[in-house]
Amino acid sequence: MESLSPQTLPLWTRPFAAVGRRAIRWVNHLGAVAIFFILATLKVVHPKQLAKIAYQIYEIGARSVPIILLVGLFTGMVLGLQTYHALVTVGAQGALGTLVALSLVRELGPVLTAIMITARAGSAITAEIGIQRISEQIDALDTMHIDPLRYLISPRIVAAVISFPILTALFDLIGIIGGYFSGVVLMGANAGAYIYRVQASMELKDVTDGFIKAVVFAIIVTAVCCYQGYFAHTREDSRGAKAVGLSTTAAVVISCVLILVADYIVTSLLI
């Protein structure tokens, strides 16, 4: 049988073959990211990890608080404004609190928080680890018999899993306050109805589902960003500083796409 190589394939099939090769490469990468994540997670438990985890919680979590507050506030305000205008047309402005709270807690809170942390901390993780890779700092860890996965990756995974739900809760809270400000203070909706609806319509499951999503996104973001930095030197399209730059861009884009894909999958499983 004649072997199948790109040269022997009919001309019209080549675009499909190229798409297929790209898809296989993507699946390979996803598998490699999963293995990388599992290996790093296995090294979480170690007596010398606590200080590094605390430092990463500061880097990933505490330093993201201002941007989360800002984005959360304006997201809630826009949501309050748009929802109020839509509800007024059907005379149901009393449901403002329900819509703002549920939209934020179930969907917008976890997703936007994850995307904002990706942009702020995820990109920094990839760039830092990438530079450590190309300047042989990771090789130096190996020669000092310090496991790079334990030293560099595990603390970031734990810190992200702790930080993402807390930042999501903060985003939800400030978003609900933003919705109150635009809907009640600026547009004149009933304050008591807004607060009552927020309390009455939200169940514990809504909050826990939001937290489950936050943890899933934390795993995705740290796995992708750390992986892209750790293997920046193996890129085929560039070397050195340019490779770190491209890896950082790839980490942010892939993380954001995977966050949205995972959001749909997790929502369909939880609903």
Partner 1 sequence: METPLIEFQDVTKSFGPRTVLDRVNLRIHAGQVTTIIGLSGAGKSVLLKHIIGLLKPDSGRIIFQGRPLDEMTVSERKSSLAQISYMFQDNALFDSLSVYDNIALPLRETTNLSRSEIDRRVTARVEQMELADAVNKYPSELSGGMQKRAALARALVTDPRIVLFDEPTSGQDPIRKNAILGMIAQYQRRIGFTAILVSHEIPDVYFISNRILALYDRTVVFQGTPAELEDFDHPFLDDIIRSLEGLHGELTDPFARTRFAMAHQELEKKKTGKDIHALPAENHHG
What is d(CA 111, CA 100) in angstroms, rounded to the nearest whole number? Answer: 15
CB of 51 to partner 1, least distance (A): 10
Burial 14-31 (b: 16+ CB within 10 A, else e): eeeeeeeeeeeeeeebee
Q: Which of 196, 166, 165, 167 is nearest to 100 (CA)?
A: 196
# binding residues, partner 1 (CB under 8 A)? 15
What's the DSSP call for residue 236?
Answer: S
Cβ closest to partner 1, residue 75 vs residue 123: 123
Residue 60, classified by CB atoms within 10 Å of its CB into exposed (0-12), middle (13-18) or buried (19+), is buried
Neighbours of 176 (CB within 10 A): 24
Binding letters toward partner 1, positions 46-75, x by CB under 8 A: --x---------------------------
Smaller CB separation from partner 1, 51 or 271? 51
Find the shortest distance in angstroms from Cβ 147 to partner 1. 9
By CB under 8 A, what part of segment 123-142 binds partner 1?
A: 128, 131-132, 135-137, 139-140, 142
* Cβ-based nearer residue to partner 1, 137 or 190: 137
Q: How many residues does the chain have?
A: 271
Rule CB under 8 A: is residue 203 a binding residue for partner 1? no
Based on CB atoms, which residue is closest to partner 1, 46 or 205? 46
CB of 42 to partner 1, least distance (A): 14
Q: Which is nearer to partner 1, 147 or 263 (CB)?
A: 147
Tell me how far, at minimum, the Cβ of 140 lies from partner 1, in Å. 4
| Tokens, residue 144 | 């000092």
Please give the C-alpha separations between residue 28 and each of 21, 33, 107, 127, in angstroms, as whole numbers.
Answer: 10, 9, 30, 23
Residue by residue, DSSP assigns 16-67 as HHHHHHHHHHHHHHHHHHHHHHHHHHTT---TT-HHHHHHHIIIIIGGGHHH
Nearer to partner 1, 12 or 145 (CB): 145
Please name the helix (run of DSSP H) or strand (run of DSSP E) that holds residue 140, with its range, or none: helix 137-143
x/- mask, partner 1, residues 158-187, rule CB under 8 A, reads ------------------------------
Least distance in angstroms from the C-beta of 135 to partner 1? 7
- Considering the complex, what minimum distance in angstroms separates the CB of residue 116 from partner 1? 24
CB nearer partner 1, residue 48 or residue 85: 48
What is the binding site for partner 1 (CB under 8 A)? 48, 128, 131-132, 135-137, 139-140, 142-146, 151
